[in-house]
Amino acid sequence: MPKENPIPVLHAEGLTKRYGRREALSDVDLRIPAGRVVGLVGPNGAGKSTLLNLACGLLEPTSGSLRVLGSRPAASAAHLARVGFVAQNSPVYPSFSVADHLRLGAHLNPSWDQGMAGRRIAQVGLNPGQKAGRLSGGQRAQLALTIAAAKRPELLIFDEPAAALDPLARQEFLLNLMEFVAELGASAVLSSHLLGDIEQVCDYLIVLCDSRVQIAGDVPDLLAWHHRLVAPHGDLGGLPAGVEVVRVEQGTRHGSAMVRTDLPPSELPFRVEPVTLEELVLGYMSRASTPVARTGAAAGRGAR
Ligand SMILES: Nc1ncnc2c1ncn2[C@@H]1O[C@H](COP(=O)(O)OP(=O)(O)OP(=O)(O)O)[C@@H](O)[C@H]1O
């Protein structure tokens, strides 16, 4: 098994970003290991774009620190070449043709892979002579992904990459993204509201709500640590120490609680069911909007 790169792709400590009096990121600590496809999810206004723009050096932190691939974001031209970024709505130069974009990419990036760029443009059926301003939203997204990947970056960052795509184009885009990550041996971070997409391609998850990280970690670990406890008559009292309640739902005949714990399911009371990634995300999002009482030794522990 290849040894994991010890330098995290993204390392934030006490990262805070304010726009005037509005705090968009509050004291964020994150350490994302290399080689992951990271899903960044959270409600509108949570701070996702702010985090991604900080990672690309388009914004400066108000306080705290952020390192990307071991350096300050956009520390140098060489560092910029190691990061591919596709901003929300895949901006392009409208009066430049597809081929112009590739020429510009080749001119600006020392490790540009023209073979890959050309292959991919042909594969997704883009006409090299077409002006980028006349491409559809989905075609623009494909062009932007091609440019980001042909830089052969170590880290690809996407802000809601698939939002403008129809279901088929989105499926293709996600498959291409996975291929690129595998082919380049790269890491990727993508923000999205589409939990199905996140579930399909991401192996690391960050839930950001209200400017704070609610939970972050490798998806298999997160799924192993979270369970749904279902109690008849909704009586969910008497949980053992070390069980943190994330979300409670009361039905007429049953009550259920999504909990986080290191304890094995056999040591938990009530009926124990697994949770899906989507349920996990929704659990943390709803907790952030309506905090519930927590139980046991894990209460108050930063879920990172
Ligand atoms: N340039 C800016 N000036 C002032 N406030 C801003 C600016 N950019 C973002 N904000 C505020 O910071 C907060 C976080 O915004 P951000 O765009 O990072 O959220 P987001 O999670 O990406 O949202 P969405 O899912 O809607 O794209 C929001 O309250 C937003 O209004």
User: Are 193 and 260 part of one and the same domain?
Assistant: no
Written as tens digits, the pLDDT of the chain (304 aa) is: 556 667 899 999 999 999 999 999 999 999 999 999 999 999 999 999 999 999 999 999 999 999 999 999 988 888 888 999 988 877 789 999 999 999 999 998 888 999 989 998 998 899 999 999 999 888 888 899 889 889 999 999 999 877 777 888 788 888 888 887 888 789 999 999 999 989 999 999 999 999 999 999 999 999 999 999 998 876 777 788 889 999 988 877 788 999 999 998 888 888 899 999 999 999 999 988 875 544 443 333 333 4
- Assess if residue 295 is contained within a domain: no
- Amino acid (1-letter code) at residue 186: A
Cα(82) to centroid(ligand 1), Å? 26
CA distance 235 to 29: 36
What is the DSSP-derived secondary structure letter of residue 203?
A: S
Boundaries of domain holding 143: 10-210
Asked casually if ipTM beats, i.e. exceeds, 0.90, the reply is yes
Same domain, 263 and 231: yes
Structural domain includes residue 193: yes
On whether residue 47 sits in a domain, the answer given is: yes
For the chain, how big is the Rg over CA atoms in Å? 21
Atom 11 of ligand 1, residue of closest alpha carbon:
24
For residues 237 and 269, the answer to whether their CB atoms sit within 8 Å is: no
Specify the residue with its C-alpha closest to ligand 1, atom 25.
44
Which residues, 6 or more positions from 88, have their beta carbon under 8 angstroms from its beta carbon? Answer: 49, 159, 160, 163
First-to-last C-alpha distance (Å) of the chain:
26
The residue count for the chain: 304
- The DSSP secondary structure of 140-155, one letter per residue, reads HHHHHHHHHHHT--SE
Residue 87 within a domain = yes
Residue 252 forms part of a structural domain:
yes
Same domain, 205 and 224: no
Same domain, 38 and 140: yes
Kindly list the distances between the CA atom of residue 251 and the CA atoms of 230, 233, 260, in Å, as whole numbers in the listed order.
10, 8, 21
Q: Among 210, 231, 254, which residue terminates a domain?
A: 210
Ligand 1 residue neighbourhood (C-beta within 6 Å): 19, 22, 24, 42, 44-50
Domain match, 134 and 243 both:
no
270 and 147 in a single domain? The answer is no
Please indicate, yes or no, if residue 171 is contained in any of the structural domains: yes
Structural domain count, the chain:
2
Instruction: Say if CB 211 and CB 46 are below 8 A apart.
Output: yes
Distance 31 CA to ligand 1 centre (A): 22
